[in-house]
Structure 1
Amino acid sequence: MVSEVVEKKLYDAASKGDVAILVRLVEEDPYLVHGVSFPFSRNLLHVAAMHGQASIVEEVVKYNPRLARISDSQKSSPLHIAVEEGHLEICQKLLSVAPEACWWRDCHDMNPLHIAAIKGHVEIMEHLLEESHLLAMEGLPRKETVLHLCVKHGQLGALKVLIDRLGAELVDADDENGETILHMAVRSNQLETIQYLVDNKKIKRRTRNIRGHTPLQVLNESPRYTATRYSEVRKLLLKLLRPSLDKILPKWTNTMMVVVILIATMAFQNSINPPGGIWQEDTSSHKAGDAVIAHTHPHIYRYLVHANTVAFISSFLAILLITTEAPSVNICFWRMAVYAMAVSMMAITLSYAASTMVTAPNIKNKPIHLITIIFILACLVAFVLMFLFLHLLSHYFNWKAKIRSQEDLTTDPLYKRILYWIYQHFETRDV
């Protein structure tokens, strides 16, 4: 039985880092390190870890490394205490003698990594993750993840480290109430966390909590926001409601690349090898290499050259935008590529019409190029109608998304509000 006087001296030595007194007391009683117990069933390593005395920890583990595997009455090991207090050096020493302690859970069912996340001790978190990334996968009460703990306690730095180390597989995980970390960040008015999750595209799917509410609806119900902060957060959350172009753009750009390369090839071939061919020999009226139709149909040839030039330049512009991956950087570049492709398609269509006027024979004394012109005009009208339909369809899906998220439609431009009224009229009309 250790006397109270010796126990107090030992506690003071451990808490103040007095290695000399500790060594003297242990020399007087070699079993002192093994048998002494402080309040809450804590040993010398608990006390030294609490006060950040790395020299005491190093000395005690020489006498009895098993103390690093003993938990107190709160089920906290010395490693739990060192992590909570943020003492990295002590954590490293304890893990070297008891690495299995990083998996143990305290009375709150948390392992040391969970505690480091709550406290925001980033360096300790990184050291624990080096032991095993699976520590972060350990579940918590109420189905929460370690990312929920970071957001709940406002530890954005710890959140970034975990997501960077683990990837985004836990970002969309929800707790027993169906709430993701984005729901929680919106509810607790954490603008920087929301901005990080949205701007860095960490959220991969749209989720609803157990009440069927999206993060935007949680924002609308929250009384904790000023008008300015509400507007900022709302603008960020609206980005999630727009269709993600990350998955759509690669397919569209691949298809566009095939189309514009084909058009550029057609325009180039039509320029160096025009319909009717080229003169092979020099004469008094022309030179070898001149286009035949430049002499037989000069007006049509000018239209042909202009159409081929426009088709080639516009398709080249689209190729340039796509190969530099500009559409993935800014949606405006993607629209420019689409418009360039549309111009090249119309130009190559006109080139086809001009070529047909020159090479087609007469049928029943009626020039076939008149029929071709009608056909080409019909194609152009169909092309314009297709683009108009796609434009209206995109506005329709945008309107449906705004209805689901309960957005204010009165702030949109007048032409959009007219379209919304038309959509609503057709959806609510009697069948």
Structure 2
Amino acid sequence: MEQKLCEAAIRGSVDSLHQLIAEDELILDKIVVGYFGGKSPLHVAASSGRTKFVKELLRLNPKLADVLDSRHQSALHIASAEGHVEMVQALTRVRPRMCIELDQEGRNPLHLAAMNGNVEVLKELIQVKPQATRGRVDGGETILHLCVKHNQVKALELLLKSCGDMAFVNAKDRGGNTILHLAVLDSKIEIVKCVLTNSAFIDVNGKNESGHTAMDILFLARSLSGGQEDLDCDIEDVLQQARAMRSKDLERHVSLENESNGLMVVASLIATIAFQAGVTPPGGTWQDDSNEHRAGDSIMAYKYPNAYPYFLHFNTIGFIISLSTILLLLHKLPSRTRLLVWIRAVIAWLTVLAVTFTYAYSITVITPKKYSHSPSHDIVVVIIVWVSLMSIFVFTRPIGAIRRQRRTNKAVERIFKFGIRIPAGGAQPIQGGNSV
């Protein structure tokens, strides 16, 4: 009797089904309680594409949709893998919760549909259970990872557009690899373009557990493979357009960003100080009018006529340079070029120098005569301190550069001695799809 039912399922003969039920009214109930140890007639009909037969079975006994075969797969798993849209619709109407049922390898029906590129089936399943897209298989991959590994561009595009939030798009497998890492590692340029085009949330400079970005993986893979220079160059161009960087360049970029932010704070502070010193000079201002001065005039200009012009000049220089620095930083100029880095360093030193001399002249004015020294003495002290600081700066930078170069040389020697290790999580295809 059981064999006849399976044969009817293979043929899709609804009449034979009715005849068998007439002979044994409990035959479908026996299937539900586990009478068959392997595949149920619903599984057989699903794998054979017999949609009409499947609909009739579900009408007679909807509980058949809950039955799992020896691989822990439901009929919905099989229909999704085979791409039978109408059958999937019938199964999900009866048991929508089967969308999140996992087989032996931790895959739900959406995983199987994506792996086999069944886009229309995937659309139906997403509408029924969108949360099922967040499930991970036993290897730690998301449904997006499976699309990349099986080169399913259309399915990946659908998922990125329909439910591609930041956490989902940048999810990592057990090796810490995102979908962009895997696409670059396998030199799948269409996948790379799809990811970068259809998702605004992808972190193009995200790192895996080995500390490698997608651009790092491209260079590592290029060094180990031959004959793919043109393809790798195309991928490199696409990544560069998305502003992807190698990890060492990324660290330098972050360092420059932090340096720019710090310089912005310092420039703003110096501009504030210079402005305050300009409108409220040391010694204050006259509060009344007379034949010799007006109210608001700087007392320092009358009491120290020789020092005041220098104070005014250096304070103005510091103020203007600080404002110029703020404008340069706001325009986000490419600070990685050597010329701009050098110009920015010179501007910073000139600003500090101007503030230093402004401070020296201010102290000279407000210090009582019994505690003050000659101006030449103050200038000598400033020059000595300044030369000392510059000497330390000049001599320590080459030493640091030499040490960094030595570390780089040692790293290169280790690479050539032991070889380059590609990060875990390479593109090893997962067997999926057909269950029968």
State whether residues 49 and 57 of structure 1, in contact with CA within 8 Å, keep that contact through their aligned partners in structure 2: no
State whether residues 304 and 355 of structure 1, in contact with CA within 8 Å, keep that contact through their aligned partners in structure 2: yes
Corresponding residue of 1:217: 220
State whether residues 77 and 101 of structure 1, in contact with CA within 8 Å, keep that contact through their aligned partners in structure 2: yes
Structure 1 residue 278: deviation in Å? 1.9
1:173 counterpart = 2:174: yes
C-alpha root-mean-square deviation of aligned residues, in Å? 5.2
In the TM superposition, 1:96-107 aligns within 5 A as 96-99=93-96, 101-106=98-103
In the TM superposition, 1:271-310 aligns within 5 A as 271-298=278-305, 300-310=307-317
d(CA) in 2 for partners of 1:268, 1:205 = 48
Corresponding residue of 1:85: 82
Q: Secondary structure at the match of 1:244?
A: helix
d(CA) in 2 for partners of 1:303, 1:284 = 25
Change (3 A) 1:50 1:375: farther
d(CA) in 1 for partners of 2:12, 2:348 = 79
d(CA) in 2 for partners of 1:371, 1:163 = 65
Q: Deviations over 1:379-427 (max 9, x none)?
A: 376258548856974796588468646899xxxxxxxxxxxxxxxxxxx
1:311 counterpart = 2:311: no
Change (3 A) 1:337 1:71: farther
Q: Secondary structure at the match of 1:204?
A: coil
State whether residues 68 and 94 of structure 1, in contact with CA within 8 Å, keep that contact through their aligned partners in structure 2: yes
Q: Secondary structure at the match of 1:139?
A: coil
State whether residues 349 and 376 of structure 1, in contact with CA within 8 Å, keep that contact through their aligned partners in structure 2: no
Q: Deviations over 1:7-47 (max 9, x none)?
A: 56x65557xxxxxxx4x66666645993999xx84524653
Structure 1 residue 367: deviation in Å? 1.0
Structure 1 residue 375: deviation in Å? 1.8
Structure 1 residue 220: deviation in Å? 0.6
Structure showing greater relative contact order (alpha-carbon pairs closer than 8 Å, 6 or more residues apart): 2
In the TM superposition, 1:416-431 aligns within 5 A as none
1:164 counterpart = 2:162: no
Corresponding residue of 2:147: 150
Corresponding residue of 1:135: 135
Q: Deviations over 1:81-116 (max 9, x none)?
A: 222234556445434533553454556664334323
d(CA) in 1 for partners of 2:47, 2:394 = 69
State whether residues 276 and 292 of structure 1, in contact with CA within 8 Å, keep that contact through their aligned partners in structure 2: yes
Structure 1 residue 65: deviation in Å? 1.3
Change (3 A) 1:166 1:293: closer
The alignment of Structure 1 onto Structure 2 pairs a total of residues equal to 385
d(CA) in 2 for partners of 1:389, 1:342 = 17
Which range moves more in the overlay, 295-304 or 194-203? 194-203
Corresponding residue of 2:64: 67
Corresponding residue of 2:430: none
Corresponding residue of 2:420: none
d(CA) in 2 for partners of 1:133, 1:49 = 23
Change (3 A) 1:5 1:375: closer
d(CA) in 2 for partners of 1:403, 1:193 = 36
Within the candidate set 200, 205, 212, 2:203 is matched to 200
Amino acid at match of 1:139: D
Change (3 A) 1:384 1:65: farther
Corresponding residue of 1:43: 41
Corresponding residue of 1:265: 272
d(CA) in 2 for partners of 1:5, 1:30 = 9
Corresponding residue of 1:417: none
Q: Secondary structure at the match of 1:284?
A: coil
Amino acid at match of 2:301: A
State whether residues 182 and 194 of structure 1, in contact with CA within 8 Å, keep that contact through their aligned partners in structure 2: yes
d(CA) in 2 for partners of 1:95, 1:202 = 39
d(CA) in 2 for partners of 1:289, 1:62 = 97
Q: Secondary structure at the match of 1:242?
A: helix
Within the candidate set 232, 238, 249, 1:242 is matched to 249
d(CA) in 2 for partners of 1:245, 1:52 = 61
Structure 1 residue 364: deviation in Å? 10
Structure 1 residue 207: deviation in Å? 0.9
List gaps (5 residues or longer) in structure 1: 15-21, 409-431
State whether residues 114 and 152 of structure 2, in contact with CA within 8 Å, keep that contact through their aligned partners in structure 1: yes
State whether residues 172 and 205 of structure 1, in contact with CA within 8 Å, keep that contact through their aligned partners in structure 2: no
Q: Secondary structure at the match of 2:357?
A: helix
Change (3 A) 1:384 1:371: same
State whether residues 318 and 350 of structure 2, in contact with CA within 8 Å, keep that contact through their aligned partners in structure 1: yes
List gaps (5 residues or longer) in structure 2: 416-436
Q: Secondary structure at the match of 2:206?
A: coil
Change (3 A) 1:362 1:203: same
Q: Deviations over 1:235-264 (max 9, x none)?
A: 868622334378757865665454334322
d(CA) in 2 for partners of 1:129, 1:384 = 68
1:379 counterpart = 2:367: no
d(CA) in 2 for partners of 1:407, 1:230 = 26
d(CA) in 2 for partners of 1:289, 1:41 = 98
Corresponding residue of 2:421: none
Corresponding residue of 1:188: 186
Structure 1 residue 205: deviation in Å? 4.3
State whether residues 110 and 132 of structure 2, in contact with CA within 8 Å, keep that contact through their aligned partners in structure 1: no
d(CA) in 1 for partners of 2:125, 2:256 = 37
Which range moves more in the overlay, 283-292 or 265-274? 283-292
Q: TM-score, normalised by structure 1?
A: 0.65
Change (3 A) 1:337 1:127: farther
Change (3 A) 1:218 1:69: same
Amino acid at match of 1:97: V
Structure 1 residue 279: deviation in Å? 2.5
d(CA) in 2 for partners of 1:65, 1:406 = 66
d(CA) in 2 for partners of 1:273, 1:365 = 22
d(CA) in 2 for partners of 1:89, 1:337 = 66
Change (3 A) 1:280 1:50: farther
